[in-house]
């Protein structure tokens, strides 16, 4: 029994992590599914009435079948409105999903009990089997909703259906409830494993395998996103950092030692940057850094000097001390500058730092699409 509770606890923690990490994506999936269900439901009800009138004109159609159509229409309108938003409101989506879930369960219960009290039902049993597959919700919530619906279903069956069908309804609904629990567990584990693998592969595609920093593509993408979201008057700096004489290090001490150095530089840069800054390995021994929300150029100088000093402090035997050159584009007024423009200017600034004798940095200020105040800060000899 203790092992069972431990297993339940593990699944509960895994599910909490899953819904915390993929909350918005899960909301979008659920809303898209609900949109499909609403459209399909309205179409099925309309076709049901049409075919009944055409092929079975003598049949009488219960008005209960008309009730879900306008409600599905209202839900469809709300869902479409939510999906059109740039950022999904996960809390509102969660409430919509649960309401839709309960509404559909109640519809299937009503249609299973009232129109034909003398005939065993099929809708409810099939639907509670399909629920864990259709809706992506925490397992405990699935269980609570389905068990409560089961109690309501049995109460209505005993109250409104003839006693002759009670045994059939009791057996079928209980069997469906058990199988629904099995489906619930299987689907929950499948989604956890599937999205965990997807998250792992996505992370691998975003990371540089050697330094474990962000790679070039995702680094530039993060920079472009930052430019699109940052205020027009926000100050920031784009840095290109290049290790001095790295080719000679590789040729002298071997590529394994060169890789070790790159990993050490990556760790040093992580310690030198804030979590909000953008840091990636641009390629080879070159690193891209975007220092966000810098108060002024003096702060940029302090931050860049700190990075250079920390790189100088790296000491690997037998390589010894390490130096680097840094090209900096400090931005005080961005206007319509693109990430490509800023990278180009930082790259030019790096070239000038290399020309000055390496182990230094060169800063240019970007303002109103013109270059101002180019400075070289050389390490004292």
For helices 123-134 and 90-113, what crossing angle results, to 10°? Answer: 160
List all residues 6 or more positions away from 220 whose beta carbon is below 8 Å from its beta carbon. 280, 288, 339, 343
What is the distance between the alpha carbons of residues 310 and 264, in angstroms, rounded to a whole number? Answer: 11
**What integer pLDDT is reported at residue 6 of this predicted model?**
73
Residue 85 has pLDDT above 90, yes or no: no
Give the percent of the chain with pLDDT over 70: 87
For 147, residues 6+ apart whose C-beta sits below 8 A from its C-beta are 177
Residue by residue, what is the 3-state secondary structure of 277-326?
A: CEEEEEECCEEEEEECCCCCHHHHHHHHHHHHHHHHCCEECCCEECCEEE
User: How confident is residue 368, by pLDDT bands cut at 50, 70 and 90?
Assistant: very low
Q: CA 231 to CA 254: how far, in whole Å?
A: 46
Catalytic residue among 20, 208, 285, 347: 285
pLDDT over threshold 50, residue 371: no
Q: Count Cα atoms within 13 angstroms, Cβ side, for 179.
A: 14
Least confident of 51-65, 98-112, 226-240, 295-309: 51-65
The predicted-structure confidence for 121-180, as pLDDT tens digits, reads as follows 888 999 999 888 888 888 888 899 999 999 999 999 999 999 999 999 999 999 999 999
Report the CATH architecture of 216-378: 2-Layer Sandwich (3.30)
Residue 333 has pLDDT above 50, yes or no: yes
Alpha-carbon distance of 381 to 368, in angstroms, equals: 36
Of 61 and 51, the one with more pLDDT: 51
> What is the model's pLDDT at position 323?
93
Going by their DSSP bridges, the two strands 236-243 and 286-291 should be labelled as: antiparallel
- Rounded to an integer, what is the distance from CA 33 to the centroid of its chain? 18
Q: Are 76 and 39 in contact (CB under 8 A)?
A: yes
- The Cα angle at residue 319 between residues 313 and 325, in degrees rounded to 5: 55
**Per-residue pLDDT for 273 more than 50?**
yes
| CB contact burial 314-353 (16+ within 10 A = b; e otherwise) | beeeebeebebbbbbbbbbebeebebebbbebbbbbbebb
Q: What is the 3-state secondary structure (H, E, C) of the chain?
A: CHHHHHHHHHHHHHHHHHHHHCHHHHHHHHHHHHHHHHHHHHHHHHHHHHHHHHHCCCCCCCHHHHCHHHHHHHHHHHHHHHHCCCCCCHHHHHHHHHHHHHHHHHHHHHHHHCCCCCCCCCHHHHHHHHHHHHCCCCHHHHHHHHHHHHHHHHHHHHHHCCHHHHHHHHHHHHHHHHHHHHHHHHHHHHHHHHHHHHHHHHHHHHECCCCCCECHHHHHHHHHHHHHHCCCCCCEEEEEEEECCHHHHHHHHCHHHHHHHHHHHHHHHHHHCCCCCEEEEEECCEEEEEECCCCCHHHHHHHHHHHHHHHHCCEECCCEECCEEEEEEEEEECCCCCHHHHHHHHHHHHHHHHHCCCCEEEEEEEECCEEEEEEEEECCC
CB of 123 closer than 8 Å to CB of 112: yes
pTM (predicted TM-score): 0.55
Residue 204 in this model has a pLDDT that exceeds 60 = yes
Q: Cα 216 to chain center, whole Å?
A: 20
For the chain, domain boundaries = 2-205, 216-378
Asked if pLDDT for residue 377 goes beyond 50, the answer is: no
Mean pLDDT of the chain: 84
- 285 tagged catalytic: yes
């Amino acid at each position: 029994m203790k092992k069972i509770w431990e297993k339940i606890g593990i699944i509960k923690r895994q599910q909490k992590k899953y819904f915390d990490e993929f909350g918005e994506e899960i909301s979008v999936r659920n809303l898209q599914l609900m949109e499909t269900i609403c459209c399909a439901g309205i179409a099925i009800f309309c076709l049901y009435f049409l075919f009944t009138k055409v092929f079975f004109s003598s049949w009488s159609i219960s008005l209960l079948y008309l009730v879900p159509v306008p409600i599905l229409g209202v839900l469809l309108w709300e869902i479409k409105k939510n999906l059109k938003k740039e950022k999904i409101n996960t809390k509102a989506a969660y409430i919509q999903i649960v309401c839709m879930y309960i509404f559909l369960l109640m519809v299937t219960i009503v249609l299973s009990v009232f129109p034909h009290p003398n005939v065993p039902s099929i809708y409810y049993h099939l639907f509670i089997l399909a629920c864990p597959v259709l809706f992506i919700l925490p397992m405990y919530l699935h269980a609570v909703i389905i068990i409560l619906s089961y109690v309501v279903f049995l109460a209505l069956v005993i109250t409104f259906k003839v006693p002759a069908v009670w045994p059939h309804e009791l057996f079928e609904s209980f069997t469906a409830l058990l199988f629904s629990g099995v489906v619930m567990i299987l689907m929950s584990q499948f989604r956890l494993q599937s999205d965990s693998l997807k998250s792992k592969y996505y992370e691998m595609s975003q990371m540089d395998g050697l330094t474990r920093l962000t790679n070039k593509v995702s680094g530039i993408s993060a920079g472009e996103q930052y430019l699109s979201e940052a205020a027009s008057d926000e100050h920031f700096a784009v840095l290109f950092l290049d290790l001095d004489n790295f080719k000679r290090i590789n040729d002298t001490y071997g590529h394994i030692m060169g890789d070790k150095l790159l990993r050490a530089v990556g760790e040093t840069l992580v310690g030198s940057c804030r979590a909000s800054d953008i840091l990636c390995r641009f390629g080879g021994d070159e690193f891209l850094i975007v220092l966000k929300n810098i108060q002024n150029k003096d702060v940029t100088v302090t931050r860049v000097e700190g990075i250079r000093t920390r790189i100088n402090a790296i000491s690997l035997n037998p390589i010894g001390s390490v130096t680097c050159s840094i090209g900096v584009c400090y931005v005080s007024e961005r206007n319509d500058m693109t990430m490509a423009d800023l990278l180009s200017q930082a790259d030019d600034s790096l070239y000038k730092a290399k020309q000055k004798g390496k182990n230094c940095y060169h800063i240019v200020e970007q303002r109103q699409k013109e270059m101002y105040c180019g400075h070289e800060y050389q390490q004292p000899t």
